């Protein structure tokens, strides 16, 4: 799970200062899928033993009856093949086990151990984990595809500001993401402003009559893009640009990519801007030393051959770790659970809706893989998004001091920072109904933009999924429901070298993986699309769930200890 998430492009995103790394993506062309898998039919054996039957000895004098010889089949008569039954969500849930998911995680850990302890972006550990997943999928009959893209990473090596020769400590403002640098000697000049009424400096004409050559331009946040502001100031001859927020909070802007036609650009708060312009002739010095690198990487994709292509259900989990460790819970757990679901589903019967699986790259540096994927579809093949009836996200599903979090589509506990499409309520209800049926407690978890559902929600795709906790602190109420220790993080080893195999709770992983299999299969065999007119999640019922149903409030049932879904 990413510590910060958000869209690429020009944003007012998280703070970006000296020593921090900012990433973006360069998008390639769109693509279409043509994948398939082999369907296996399971034949049940006969179980049990019969009592022996003793036959009378044959009369040796009796004639032996002739054995009738069946007639040869007519080669012109077609032989009808038995129809393949549809996949059964309960059977899939019963077939997925935490033990099988843990075996995948053992492979992830071994790969990390043999390659510097990490599975992060651009490492052999990431590439080999992806190769393992591809081999497993191909062995089950899937065709896999690598969705390649490039991550642009920028590191600010030095950032300093002086005001009338006095060093600002800490340095005033924040360098924009993807800004060009000043060089080690920096730039300095008198602060100048554009002549347009709002002071936004969007066009070259806004600088008419202003001697900005070699000076520091200051503009306010406004309707035009940051790129337009920086290019206009550069055209006027300014050496650097300050963009002031209209509110008394800092401004951390970002360009979509580094552009040679821009100038070094920083953001400041409204109060800081007022102080800089209170006295005429203020001289400002800015130094930005940055390093930009480009890292090629990829997502792993696979989809089923059965199911309507105009009704696609997508499920994803990010595959990369942070550089500090192997990332076995974050997010080996989600990746391995999704892999096992795909493997079991491949031999479980026909589907009504096409299933597409994704293992995302570069999530830990800003949700880059999933946002790049959605951006490619939006730009090159928007019909693919129109046909996508739902997206399921699984990020950290084996946390040691866990909760069992279901994304809060109906916003009963947490207001979402963006519009949640109505079909998301159906996804939430499938998970919560399943957990209620097995007596498993659950709680709402917010759509807070920190994982790969973000790009799908932005484009109107109904979304949902599971999350068992990261750096959030377990409350006494959660400890009463799920066990564990209140006052400690849900995953004390989040984003550290301690996120190894021993960091994953196998019992939690077992419950979550079975739920993933159940809901994924339910949506894959649905007749209508899940993003219909229903807004309460009740219009389209899922399959009957056999088991004890826990009644009561939103959080029900006993703790996970020993509860195995489907048993």
**DSSP string covering 355-418:** EEEEEESSGGGTSHHHHHHHHHHHHH-HHHHHTEEEEEEE-----TT---EEE-TT-SS---SS
| Residue 203: pLDDT over 90 | yes
Same domain as 339, residue 271: no
Taking the C-alpha atoms of residue 35 and residue 303, their distance in angstroms, rounded to an integer, is 6
Q: What is the pLDDT of residue 530?
A: 56
The predicted model gives 256-268 an average pLDDT of 95
Which sign, positive or negative, has the C-alpha torsion 454, 457, 462, 464? positive
Q: Scan for tokens 């039954």, then name that residue.
A: 85
Same domain as 182, residue 136: no
Identify the residue with better confidence: 558 or 504.
504
| Residue 125: pLDDT over 50 | yes
Q: Identify the DSSP state of 470.
A: S
Q: What is the pLDDT of residue 256?
A: 86
Domain boundary among 238, 261, 293: 293
What torsion, rounded to 10 degrees, do the Cα atoms 448, 453, 457, 458 define?
Answer: 80
Taking the C-alpha atoms of residue 179 and residue 192, their distance in angstroms, rounded to an integer, is 20
3-state class (DSSP) for residue 291:
strand
Same domain as 137, residue 161: no
| Residue 192: pLDDT over 70 | yes
| Residue 136: pLDDT over 50 | yes
| Residue 66: pLDDT over 50 | no
Is 8 inside a domain boundary? no
**What is the number of domains present in the chain?**
2
Q: 266, 251, 208, 309: which is closest to 529 by C-alpha?
A: 309
Q: What is the pLDDT of residue 3?
A: 60
Query: Over the chain, what is the mean pLDDT?
Result: 84
Same domain as 396, residue 311: yes
The predicted model gives 418-434 an average pLDDT of 96
Neighbours of 404 (CB within 10 A): 28
Same domain as 237, residue 171: yes
pTM value is 0.74
Q: What is the pLDDT of residue 1?
A: 83
Taking the C-alpha atoms of residue 220 and residue 272, their distance in angstroms, rounded to an integer, is 12
Banded model confidence at residue 528, pLDDT cuts 50, 70, 90: low
3-state class (DSSP) for residue 446:
coil
Q: What is the pLDDT of residue 153?
A: 87
Taking only the tens place, the pLDDT of each residue in 2-28 is 764 333 333 333 333 344 445 555 443
Banded model confidence at residue 82, pLDDT cuts 50, 70, 90: low
Q: What is the pLDDT of residue 126?
A: 98
Domain boundary among 256, 273, 293: 293
Is 134 inside a domain boundary? yes
CATH number for the domain including 228?
Answer: 3.50.30.30
Helices 334-345/506-525 angle, 10° precision: 50
Q: What is the pLDDT of residue 305?
A: 85
Q: Evaluate whether 48 touches 290 at the Cβ level (below 8 Å).
A: no
Q: What is the pLDDT of residue 327?
A: 98
Is 147 inside a domain boundary? no
Domain boundary among 228, 262, 293: 293
Same domain as 431, residue 366: yes
Write out the catalytic residue numbers.
Answer: 363
Is 136 inside a domain boundary? yes
Q: 400, 361, 395, 359: which is closest to 498 by C-alpha?
A: 400
Taking the C-alpha atoms of residue 332 and residue 317, their distance in angstroms, rounded to an integer, is 9
Is 9 inside a domain boundary? no
Q: Provide the residue range defining the domain that includes 418.
A: 21-25+86-142+304-525
The predicted model gives 464-468 an average pLDDT of 98
Q: Identify the DSSP state of 241.
A: E
Taking the C-alpha atoms of residue 425 and residue 347, their distance in angstroms, rounded to an integer, is 29
Q: What is the pLDDT of residue 551?
A: 26
CATH number for the domain including 366?
Answer: 3.40.630.10
Regarding beta strands 265-268 and 174-175, do their DSSP bridges make them parallel or antiparallel, or are they unpaired?
antiparallel
Q: What angle do CA 209, 185, 200 make, to 5 degrees?
A: 30
Same domain as 135, residue 102: yes
The predicted model gives 535-545 an average pLDDT of 38
Question: Radius of gyration (Cα) for the chain, nearest Å?
Answer: 29
Same domain as 271, residue 213: yes
Same domain as 433, residue 310: yes
| Residue 323: pLDDT over 50 | yes
For residue 422, how many C-alpha atoms fall within 13 Å in the half-sphere facing its CB?
12
Same domain as 253, residue 132: no
The predicted model gives 408-426 an average pLDDT of 96
Share of the chain above pLDDT 90, in %: 75
**Omega before 331 within 30 of 0, i.e. cis:** yes
| HEC secondary structure over 118-150 | CCECCCHHHHHHHHHHHHHHHHCCCCEEEEEEE
Is 329 inside a domain boundary? yes
Is 396 inside a domain boundary? yes
Same domain as 362, residue 316: yes
Is 186 inside a domain boundary? yes
Identify the residue with better confidence: 270 or 21.
270
Q: Which of 24-28, 37-41, 424-428, 429-433 has the lowest mean pLDDT?
A: 37-41
Same domain as 263, residue 117: no
């Amino acid at each position: 799970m990413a510590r910060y998430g958000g869209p690429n492009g020009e944003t007012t995103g998280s703070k970006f200062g000296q020593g921090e790394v900012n990433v973006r993506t360069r998008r390639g062309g769109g693509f279409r899928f043509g994948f398939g898998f082999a369907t296996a039919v399971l034949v049940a054996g006969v179980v049990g033993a019969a009592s022996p039957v003793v036959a009378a000895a044959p009369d040796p004098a009796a004639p032996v009856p002739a054995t009738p010889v069946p007639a040869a089949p007519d080669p012109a008569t077609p032989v009808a093949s038995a129809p393949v039954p549809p996949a059964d969500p309960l059977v899939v849930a019963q077939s997925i086990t935490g033990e099988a998911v843990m075996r995948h995680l053992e492979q992830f850990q071994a790969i990390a151990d043999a390659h510097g302890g990490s599975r992060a972006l651009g490492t052999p550990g990431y590439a080999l984990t992806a190769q393992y997943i591809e081999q497993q999928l191909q062995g089950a009959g899937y065709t896999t595809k690598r969705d390649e893209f490039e991550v642009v990473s920028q590191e600010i090596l030095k950032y300093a500001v002086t005001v009338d020769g006095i060093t600002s400590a800490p340095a005033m403002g924040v360098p924009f993401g993807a800004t060009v640098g000043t060089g080690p000697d920096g730039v300095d000049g008198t602060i100048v402003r554009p002549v347009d009424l709002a002071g936004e400096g969007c066009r070259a004409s806004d600088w008419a009559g202003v001697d900005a050559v070699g000076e520091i331009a200051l503009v306010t946040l406004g309707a035009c893009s940051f790129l337009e502001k920086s290019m206009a100031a550069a055209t006027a001859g300014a050496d650097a640009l300050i963009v002031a927020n209209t509110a008394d909070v800092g401004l951390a802007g970002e360009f979509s990519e580094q552009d040679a036609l821009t100038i070094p650009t920083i953001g400041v708060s409204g109060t800081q801007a007022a102080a800089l312009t209170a006295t005429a002739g203020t001289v400002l010095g800015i130094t930005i030393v940055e390093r930009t690198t480009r890292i090629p990487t990829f997502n792993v994709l696979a989809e089923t051959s059965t199911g309507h292509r105009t009704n696609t259900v997508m499920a994803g989990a990010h595959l990369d770790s942070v550089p500090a460790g192997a990332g076995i819970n974050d997010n080996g757990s989600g990746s391995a659970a999704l892999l096992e679901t795909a493997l079991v589903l491949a031999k479980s019967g026909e589907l009504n809706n096409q299933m597409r699986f994704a293992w995302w790259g570069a999530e830990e540096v800003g949700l880059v893989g999933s946002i790049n994927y959605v951006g490619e579809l939006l730009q090159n093949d928007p019909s693919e998004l129109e046909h996508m009836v739902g997206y399921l996200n699984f990020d950290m599903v084996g946390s040691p001091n866990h909760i069992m979090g279901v994304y809060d589509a109906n916003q009963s506990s947490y207001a979402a920072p963006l519009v949640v499409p109505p079909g998301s309520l159906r996804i939430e209800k499938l998970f919560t109904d399943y957990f209620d049926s097995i007596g498993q407690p659950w709680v709402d978890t917010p759509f807070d933009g920190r994982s790969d559902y973000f790009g799908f929600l932005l484009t109107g795709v109904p979304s949902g999924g599971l999350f068992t906790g990261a750096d959030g602190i377990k409350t006494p109420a959660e400890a009463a429901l799920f066990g564990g220790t209140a006052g400690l993080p849900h995953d004390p080893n989040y984003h550290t070298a301690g996120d190894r195999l021993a960091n994953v709770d196998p019992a939690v992983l077992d419950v979550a993986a079975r739920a993933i299999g159940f809901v994924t299969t339910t949506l894959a065999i649905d007749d209508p699309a899940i993003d219909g007119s229903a807004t309460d999640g009740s219009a389209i019922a899922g399959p009957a769930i056999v088991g004890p149903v826990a009644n009561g409030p939103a959080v029900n049932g006993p703790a996970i200890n020993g509860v195995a879904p489907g048993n």
